[in-house]
Amino acid sequence: MSAPPGRERRQFRALVRLFAYRFFDTDILSVHGDLSSLLSQLAALLAAFSLVMALLTGPKYAGLYQRLTAEQLHAAAWADQEFLISTSMAIVGVFTLFLWDALFPDLRDCMILGAMPVRIPTVFAAKLTALAAALGLAVVAVNSFTGLVCPFLIVPGASGALDAARDFGAFWLVILLASVFVFLLLLGVQGVALHLLPHALYMRWSSLIQTAAFFAVLTLYFLTPPLAHPHALAAPENRLWYALVPSYWFFGLFQMLTESANAALIALARRALAGVALAALAAAGTYALAYARQMRRTVEQSGIAPGFASSWGAITPWGAITPWGAIARLLARRAPERAILVFIGRTLARSRQHRLLLAIYAGMGLAYVFSQVAYVLYHFKAANYGAIEGRAQTAMGIPLILLFFLIIGLRVSFSIPIEVRANWLFRLTDPFGGGAYLDAARKTLLLFALAPVVAIAAPIYMAVWPWPRALGHMAFLVAFGLLTIELALTGFAKVPFTCSYLPGKANLKIMFGVYWGLLIIVSELVTGVEQAGLRRPASYAWLMVITLLAWLVAARRAHWARARIPALSFEEQPEPALLGLGLAGRS
């Protein structure tokens, strides 16, 4: 017997509202937290990105920067069409992967909703609707300006209101289909993993699949060669790229909808439609089927005692001596510092949320590196001196940028709690004395950011560069890393992962600008100065002296700042509306 439609509609509406909020983990929020401010800031960021893209794209068609020939405008239009489509696809991909854990019900959902008189198809439909709404909003935000301006500019030869309406409709239809394709494809990936892997194995590998997919999306977006060009389309050596890269399929679809008669483009358009159909089939056949089963398996798994495989930071039957425990013993002599170090290592090893956050920051670094590498690869001819210089500078900047983003990523992840209610242990034991918390945080950054980057980069540079240049670069990398770590820990007064998170406290727009500015400084200024320094030993010596001095000053400042901090913070507080100058009581 099925439920009355009115009841199901009511349940559906209640569940859509619930799931829309459940995409964000609110367990970690400070009691003063305001999730809506965080969401509006994210939406504003995406819209701002769209505005910048519209401002970069639009003027060239009006001849504001330079007069382009008809052929150049045609090529620019194709490149812009593909760029806008692939950017939307990449953002939907990243957004879907960000919501990876929310695609299926978690234990809380299963325990609460499982005991309610709600049919699983209703839960499933509500979840899918909430997901579609969230992704739809992201797609609209990221195309909010480009979607209003570009359709009327990027189609060569369009004239009249009818053409404008057709191009506008085609643009949004293609963006929608491309976004749906990426979304369904990733749903299918998760569904396939759920069907193929035993539940326990899936739970362990899920975050690895998520991280791998995240890097795959970034790699595909940044390292795909720019082939949306009439000459490139005709070249036989590019056929494989067109066949394999989905953004070209949807570029072909846009071309077809805006009346291109090119057979190669029509073939790409067909591939796009087939891709959407196949992704829909795969998602329906795996995600939908896995949904009900996953609800049961999640509850069943909760009844089985969890265990960790004996690995990095794992619990072993013979006690506390694990590889990570042994490293912590080597690094920290004081018991409180060692305890915090072990806690940090185990949290990073076992918390999906923190690993994903690190992957996002590493991905941001990689994205910038990839974009630079792609620029050098695809925009300079091999014989060009600028290309050789550009490649050298890019190669030099790669570890610096990755190190910078790893340090920032780790520092940000320290601010996201693992289980706020469990922080009473640290509150009671007070690891503030002697700065154990700060030493442990510093050593974590050294071990998880500086050490791996140096360990990977050193043999590569030693193999491809003359060893004095490679050693010089490595020495600078270490000095730069030490300085960045000290700067990242300035004013840090928390045991990592124990303080509640207050969304909206850090202004995302300002932080984004700061990171972007620092990124440009690191990638351009620092590598430029270092490159010049490596050619002249005296300049290099000065560079090293200044960097090391800056590090010593930053370390000293951190020591003094620690003395002024009254107590460790476990509950993030909002900034006061009025700031006192602290003059009262001074004579």
Residue span 269-298 as binding mask against another protein, x where in contact by CB under 8 A, dash where not: ---------------------------x--
DSSP letter for 246, please: H
Backbone angles phi, psi at 62, to 5 degrees: -90, 5
| Least Å from the CB of residue 304 to another protein | 5
| Least Å from the CB of residue 505 to another protein | 17
Position among 52, 55, 108, 460 found at the interface with another protein (CB under 8 A): 108
- Choice between 108 and 556, CB closer to another protein: 108
- Choice between 13 and 556, CB closer to another protein: 13
Residue span 230-259 as binding mask against another protein, x where in contact by CB under 8 A, dash where not: ------------------------------
Biggest CA pair distance of the chain: 86
- Choice between 64 and 304, CB closer to another protein: 304
Position among 52, 55, 56, 107 found at the interface with another protein (CB under 8 A): 107
Residues in Cβ contact with 319 at an 8 Å cutoff, skipping those fewer than 6 apart: none
Tokens found for residue 281: 């089939």
Position among 62, 65, 66, 117 found at the interface with another protein (CB under 8 A): 117
Position among 112, 315, 425, 532 found at the interface with another protein (CB under 8 A): 112
| Least Å from the CB of residue 131 to another protein | 17
- Choice between 27 and 163, CB closer to another protein: 27
Whether 15 and 127 have beta carbons less than 8 Å apart is answered as yes
Stretch that binds another protein, among 84-92, 104-112, 212-220, 458-466 (CB under 8 A): 104-112
| Separation of alpha carbons 450 and 415, rounded Å | 20
Backbone angles phi, psi at 373, to 5 degrees: -60, -45
Position among 21, 424, 467, 516 found at the interface with another protein (CB under 8 A): 21
- Choice between 3 and 521, CB closer to another protein: 3
Position among 64, 115, 383, 463 found at the interface with another protein (CB under 8 A): 115
Residues 294-323 close enough to bind another protein by CB under 8 A: 296, 299-300, 303-304
Whether 134 and 327 have beta carbons less than 8 Å apart is answered as no
| CA proximity to 112, closest of 213, 22, 47 | 22
How many helices (H) and strands (E) would you count in the chain?
Answer: 24, 0
Position among 44, 55, 116, 133 found at the interface with another protein (CB under 8 A): 116
| Least Å from the CB of residue 130 to another protein | 14
- Choice between 89 and 290, CB closer to another protein: 290
Size of the site for another protein (CB under 8 A): 34
- Choice between 26 and 507, CB closer to another protein: 26
Whether 173 and 181 have beta carbons less than 8 Å apart is answered as no
Residues in Cβ contact with 403 at an 8 Å cutoff, skipping those fewer than 6 apart: 449, 450, 453, 477, 480, 481, 484
Residues 1-20 close enough to bind another protein by CB under 8 A: 1, 3, 6-7, 10-11, 13-15, 18
| Least Å from the CB of residue 297 to another protein | 10
- Choice between 183 and 501, CB closer to another protein: 501
Residue 463 to residues 283, 402, 456, 467, 472: CA-CA distances in angstroms? 46, 20, 12, 8, 14
Stretch that binds another protein, among 113-121, 149-157, 180-188, 368-376 (CB under 8 A): 113-121
Q: Any idea which residue has 């600078």 for tokens?
A: 476
Whether 344 and 417 have beta carbons less than 8 Å apart is answered as no
| Least Å from the CB of residue 415 to another protein | 18
Position among 38, 85, 110, 436 found at the interface with another protein (CB under 8 A): 110
- Using only the alpha carbons of the chain, give its radius of gyration: 27
Residues 24-83 close enough to bind another protein by CB under 8 A: 26-27, 29, 31, 35
| Least Å from the CB of residue 317 to another protein | 17
Residues in Cβ contact with 489 at an 8 Å cutoff, skipping those fewer than 6 apart: 411, 438, 441, 442, 445, 558
| Least Å from the CB of residue 447 to another protein | 33
Whether 310 and 215 have beta carbons less than 8 Å apart is answered as no
Tokens found for residue 277: 């159909």
Angle (CA) 509 511 512, round 5°: 65
Which long-range CB contacts under 8 A does 156-160 form with residues at least 24 apart?
156/70, 156/73, 156/74, 156/77, 158/258
- Choice between 21 and 378, CB closer to another protein: 21
Whether 438 and 562 have beta carbons less than 8 Å apart is answered as yes
| Least Å from the CB of residue 108 to another protein | 5
| CA proximity to 184, closest of 252, 84, 85, 274 | 274
Position among 69, 111, 446, 511 found at the interface with another protein (CB under 8 A): 111
| Separation of alpha carbons 323 and 329, rounded Å | 10
Residue span 353-392 as binding mask against another protein, x where in contact by CB under 8 A, dash where not: ----------------------------------------
Q: Which alpha helices (H) appear in 385-536, and where do they start and end?
A: 385-414, 424-429, 436-445, 451-464, 467-488, 508-520, 527-535
| CA proximity to 227, closest of 256, 261, 251 | 251
| Least Å from the CB of residue 28 to another protein | 9
- Choice between 30 and 413, CB closer to another protein: 30
- Choice between 121 and 528, CB closer to another protein: 121
| Least Å from the CB of residue 308 to another protein | 17
Whether 527 and 396 have beta carbons less than 8 Å apart is answered as yes
Tokens found for residue 165: 């309406």
Asked whether position 425 contacts another protein by CB under 8 A, the answer is: no
Count Cα atoms within 13 angstroms, Cβ side, for 397: 27
| Least Å from the CB of residue 112 to another protein | 5
Residue 375 to residues 22, 176, 519, 570: CA-CA distances in angstroms? 40, 28, 17, 45
What residues line the site for another protein (CB under 8 A)? 1, 3, 6-7, 10-11, 13-15, 18, 21-22, 26-27, 29, 31, 35, 107-108, 110-119, 296, 299-300, 303-304
